[in-house]
Amino acid sequence: MKNPDILFLSFVISFGACTRAVAPSVQAEKTPESGISEKRIVDLSHSYSDKTIYWVTAKEFDLDTVFKGETEKGYYYAANNFSTAEHGGTHIDAPIHFAKKGQTVDQIPLEKLIGEAIKIDVSANARNNPDYLISVEDLKAWEASEELSIPEGSIVLLQTGHSQYYPDKQKYLGTTERGERAVSELHFPGLSPEAAQWLVSNRNIKAVGIDTPSIDYGQSEFFKSHVILLSKNIPAFENLNNLEKLPEIGFEIIALPMKIEGGSGAPLRIVALLN
């Protein structure tokens, strides 16, 4: 097995020389010597704070100040403790979250979390429907408009436009209530099980991300899209931000979660690199 730290270092060193299967016209003005410093970086993550949105049954983020100020020896010092559920804010769902034999966070190969990406924008369809389900037709419509199939080994990002409501719990989740009774009040868009199955059966993708609290829509009872994707060791990125700042094609993703041994999920810092 490759050492993941060496793998990441090798990726950074060779980043500018990578051959792109997507958007060759965008690549035309890019020299082989170009690297990350010559790309525009878009942060797709929400910050963690007391405003961070969590699943209605999950432990919310708590930051406890240990010390903040001038010490008796004359220098400034700040330190905190924090506690949080795995699944909240911008985070990753590891395959084991819904697949008994799936990979844990620390077992996900870095190749799954780094690479070429595409964006499928369904915000016009979801604008007036908080229960919108991204369909197979949406995926096929994207391919028709771009005149290409979802590229082999892509990270697929789904833009519903729902992140505009973050961190307003009423608008983003559909409820300000918490606990088991609040689950039935959840309303936000998601990926339909049929579309998830279509991706698994017809396209070889690395990961899926969405700008809502869950890959499954709010009213889901059986979380079938989670089961379909995670059973194939395809991780999910949830609560993404700033997807409207990305093009449809021609960018890369770096999605690095906290490396929690045995974790079913973890806070995620995810960025896009644009030419």
pLDDT tens readout for residues 57-99: 999 999 999 999 999 999 999 999 999 999 999 999 999 999 9
Decide if pLDDT at 29 tops 50: no
Decide if pLDDT at 27 tops 60: no
Closest CA to 41 of 268, 245, 258: 245
Least confident of 28-32, 112-116, 197-201, 261-265: 28-32
Residue 9 per-residue DSSP state: H
- Output the CA–CA distances (angstroms, integers) from residue 151 to 165, 193, 219, in the order listed: 31, 21, 31
Question: What is the band of 16 on the pLDDT scale with cuts at 50, 70, 90?
Answer: very low
Joined together, the tokens standing for residue 268 give 């995620």
C-alpha to C-alpha distance for 234 and 228, rounded to whole angstroms = 9
CATH, range 4-58+86-274: 3.50.30.50
Average pLDDT over residues 128-156: 97
Domains of the chain, by residue range, sit at 4-58+86-274
C-alpha to C-alpha distance for 107 and 103, rounded to whole angstroms = 5
C-alpha to C-alpha distance for 231 and 100, rounded to whole angstroms = 8
Helix, strand, or coil (residue 12): helix
Decide if pLDDT at 32 tops 60: no
Closest CA to 112 of 18, 237, 205, 206: 206
pLDDT tens readout for residues 180-239: 999 999 999 999 999 999 999 999 999 999 999 999 999 999 999 999 999 999 999 999
Closest CA to 164 of 46, 268, 57: 46
C-alpha to C-alpha distance for 95 and 78, rounded to whole angstroms = 36
Joined together, the tokens standing for residue 137 give 């037709």
Task: Identify each DSSP E strand in 84-231 by its residue range.
Answer: 91-93, 114-121, 133-134, 154-159, 190-191, 205-210
